[in-house]
Amino acid sequence: MKTQYRLVFSAVAGMLALNVSAAELKPEDAIKLRKANYNTLSWNMNKIKDVLDNEMDFDAKKVAAASNVIAAIANSGMGALYIPGSEKSIGDMKTRAKPEIFTDGEGVKAVAVKFIQTANKLQTAAASGDKVAVAQAFKKVGASCKACHDKYRAKK
């Protein structure tokens, strides 16, 4: 039974192209780390938004640094943090993940792949220093974030 459970998890992890030994991770730490990664992503998305929205000069260096974080996290195998036992909030460790994110393998794979692709393109655009290219690529990353939130994150 335990083996079967592990096999199911391995299958899900495989779909997400992950590679982390989930056995060592406690569910509450998995939730904490998911939120840590998403908050880090959000901070860096906001930096790029600030540059695009507000600054007279295009700060290419800042945008490139933020884009590097976003692309690196997108490619870091976050799916490994969706382990059994982490489906619901645990005490003070709240999660807004919907149950579907643990069951809808194909749908999750689609949003994950889209996020990785758009994040990689943003990184390339940012490295070029072209503001228009960054603005376009940034919009697509934002759309991929939203697509996942709409489908797999509960409203507040």
User: Which of residues 50 and 104 has its CB atom nearest to a second copy in the complex?
Assistant: 50
| Whether the Cβ atoms of residue 127 and residue 64 lie closer than 8 Å to each other | yes
93 φ/ψ angles, rounded to the nearest 5 degrees:
-85, 90
In this structure, the chain runs to a length of: 156
Tell me how far, at minimum, the Cβ of 74 lies from a second copy, in Å: 10
User: Which of residues 7 and 72 has its CB atom nearest to a second copy in the complex?
Assistant: 72
Q: Please name the residues in contact with 24: beta carbons below 8 A apart, sequence gap of 6 or more.
A: none
Tell me how far, at minimum, the Cβ of 33 lies from a second copy, in Å: 5
Q: Which residues of this chain interact with a second copy, rule CB under 8 A?
A: 19-21, 24, 32-33, 35-37, 39-40, 43-44, 47, 50, 54, 59, 61-62, 65-66, 68-69, 71-73, 75-77
User: Which of residues 68 and 124 has its CB atom nearest to a second copy in the complex?
Assistant: 68
Burial of residue 125 (CB within 10 Å: 0-12, 13-18, 19+) is: buried
